[in-house]
Structure 1
Amino acid sequence: MPGPLNGRTALVTGATGGLGRAIARRLAADGAAVVLGHFGAWDDARELADKITADGGTARPLEADLRDPDAVRSLCRQAHGRPGPVDILVSNAGAYPRTSWADTTPAIWEDMLATNVTSHYLLAHELTPAMAARGWGRIIAIGSVLATTGRHDLSAYISAKAGLEGLTRALARELGPVDITANCVAPGSIAVPAEATVVPDQEAMTTRQLARQCIQRRGHPTDIAAAVAFLATPDAGFITGQTLRVDGGWILG
């Protein structure tokens, strides 16, 4: 497909979730061949691949537990082989379980770090040598505005997302000399189907959220996808080490 990402290959993790689907479809629409990283969601991944193909794009589902270094290595080797080599990494996979501080055990803490920040390190560490050899690459992490605001019952998750922003800045310093950019997109309150399982009273939640925002509507997955797509393009080649908050003006500082 013709577009600003024509000839590029993108690996999108967590591709079957609300944000991941929108990101994968947008990158494919912009011309990238997309590897759909998922974990135990083959039916959803195949359905998404079929939709992208029907729209004229290229997509390939691949499964991996991103907490497992061996599985990450296997995923990256397969992604490089076809449609590869990977030029764009979008680390979107993550987990968001609510656990009170009192109930946050060492096992829960370690799992949240492994899922939400160590997985990004593993992926980037595997993929960036080939990007460096070609002299071009885009590393895009999906963070959260909660790394700035904080919130109860999410201490491990928020700590991991804050670490993701720090890792992004470090990678920008490390990889800039070989023309690889590293940035973080931090979503605000985005309406996704899984939200209903966490927040039963959607109307009350929306009212509270709009009071925090400048823009008086809920965010949509396509808002996040648009930000990711821009950061993946050649036009964003002088932007690195940044966290772009896509939150309707929730966080202004």
Structure 2
Amino acid sequence: MNPFDLTGRLAVVTGARRGIGRAMARALAGAGADIIGVSAELEERGSAVEEDVLAAGRTFEAVRADFADPQAVRALGAELAGRARPVDILVNNAGTIRRAPAAEHSDADWDTVLQVNLSAQFSLTRAVGAAMVARGRGKVVFTASLLSFQGGITVPGYTAAKHGIAGLTKALANEWAPHGVNVNAVAPGYIATDNTQALREDPERSRAILDRIPAGRWGSADDLAGVTVFLASDAAAYVHGAVVPVDGGWLGR
């Protein structure tokens, strides 16, 4: 048997409309999973991620949910947990970022980033994860960050949230591992997405970043595909509470 085979499993991927989330959904579908894609602005039909999943021969369902709205997230969690077909894999990838020096970082930006990147993740995982625990199986994969390990510059809210995700990953793993539920996280390095556009367009910052990456390049969203499938599969049956960097060697410098 192929331990990476996800045929017949149902995966929920949040933040699936573009970037890392789209690549994760595409990878899971390629391994055999059917996909529920969740995003605040996800098209009901005809999205790029839907085309990816259908091209892999899997089913796709689009769900709109605003992760900045706590009530909407709670409703989403209850709806997913109550479905006749259970969720086998939950990929918590939805996120946002606000850049400003700490002394100028507004309460509104702080609250939004913590809600979308941390509080919403816990709320959704609590609901879907409880159903997994009751069934005795399931996989939860968070999207952490290099800023789960480091402080960063001008992103205090994002750094606090991503440190929180690393801690939440370990806390949930401690409780749910005995019940057959794996909780882990992927920590992307500097990936060429909308979130890093400002850095890539700043010649000085971009050069400083590239000079520190042993691989010598910005990552692509597809660089997250392999580790996502691994953590969602039976191949990772004994992996609990890990935060796995995919960073071109950044943290090794």
- Taking structure 2 as the reference length, the TM-score comes to 0.90
Counterpart of 2:137 in structure 1 is 136
SS in 1 for 2:5: coil
1:162 aligns to 2:171 (yes or no): no
Query: Are positions 1:149 and 2:147 aligned together?
Result: no
Matched-pair contact (CA < 8 Å) for 1:146–1:158: yes
Amino acid paired to 1:10: A
Q: Match of 2:222?
A: 222
Change (3 A) 1:6 1:93: same
SS, match of residue 74 in structure 1:
helix
Q: Please identify, of 35-44 and 60-69, the stretch whose mean Cα deviation from structure 2 is larger.
A: 35-44
Question: CA contact under 8 A between 2:15 and 2:95: conserved in structure 1?
Answer: yes
Q: Is 1:33–1:83's contact at 8 Å kept on the other side of the alignment?
A: no
Taking the TM superposition and a 5 Å limit, the aligned residue runs for 1:90-105 are 90-105=91-106
State the distance in 2 between where 1:201 and 1:106 align: 26
Count of residues in Structure 1 that have an aligned counterpart in Structure 2: 251
Aligned position for 1:63: 64
**How many percent identity over aligned positions?**
37
- Matched position secondary structure for 1:209: helix
Cα drift, residue 201 of structure 1: 3.8
Q: Aligned in 2, Cα 1:121/1:45: closer, same or farther, shift over 3 Å?
A: farther
SS of 1:96's partner is: coil
Structure 2 residue 242 is the aligned partner of structure 1 residue 251: no
C-alpha offsets along residues 94-129 of structure 1, whole Å, 9 cap, x if unaligned? 011202111122222222110111111011111012
Report the alpha carbon displacement of residue 200 of structure 1 after superposing the two structures with TM: 2.0
Letter in 2 for 1:99: A
Q: Matches of 2:201 and 2:59 in 1, distance apart?
A: 37
User: Structure 1 stretches of 5 or more lacking a match?
Assistant: none
Structure 1 residues 126-135 or 36-45, which shifts more? 36-45
> In structure 1, what is the equivalent of residue 232 of structure 2?
232
Give 3-state SS (helix, strand or coil) of 2:251's partner.
coil
Q: CA 1:49/1:190 → structure 2, altered by over 3 Å: closer, same or farther?
A: same
What is the alpha-carbon distance in structure 2 between the residues aligned to residue 43 and residue 93 of structure 1? Answer: 18
CA distance in 2, matches of 1:194, 1:213: 18
User: Displacement, 1:219?
Assistant: 1.2
Structure 1: how far apart are the matches of 2:66 and 2:137?
Answer: 27
Tell me which residue corresponds to 1:52: 53
Unaligned runs of 5+ in 2: none
For 2:195 and 2:129, the matched residues in 1 are separated by: 32
Kept in 2, the 8 Å contact 1:9–1:86? The answer is yes
In structure 1, give the amino acid aligned to 2:18.
G
Pair 1:54–1:87, CA change in 2 (3 A): same
Per the alignment, do residues 83 and 97 of structure 1 end up closer, same or farther by CA in structure 2, a change over 3 Å counting?
Answer: farther
Comparing 205-214 with 57-66, greater Cα deviation is found at 205-214
What root-mean-square deviation, in Å, do the aligned CA atoms of Structure 1 and Structure 2 show? 2.2
The aligned amino acid for 1:104 is H
Length-normalised TM-score, structure 1: 0.90
Task: Write out aligned runs for 1:1-253 (5 A).
Answer: 4-42=5-43, 46-79=47-80, 84-193=85-194, 195-197=196-198, 199-201=200-202, 205-252=205-252
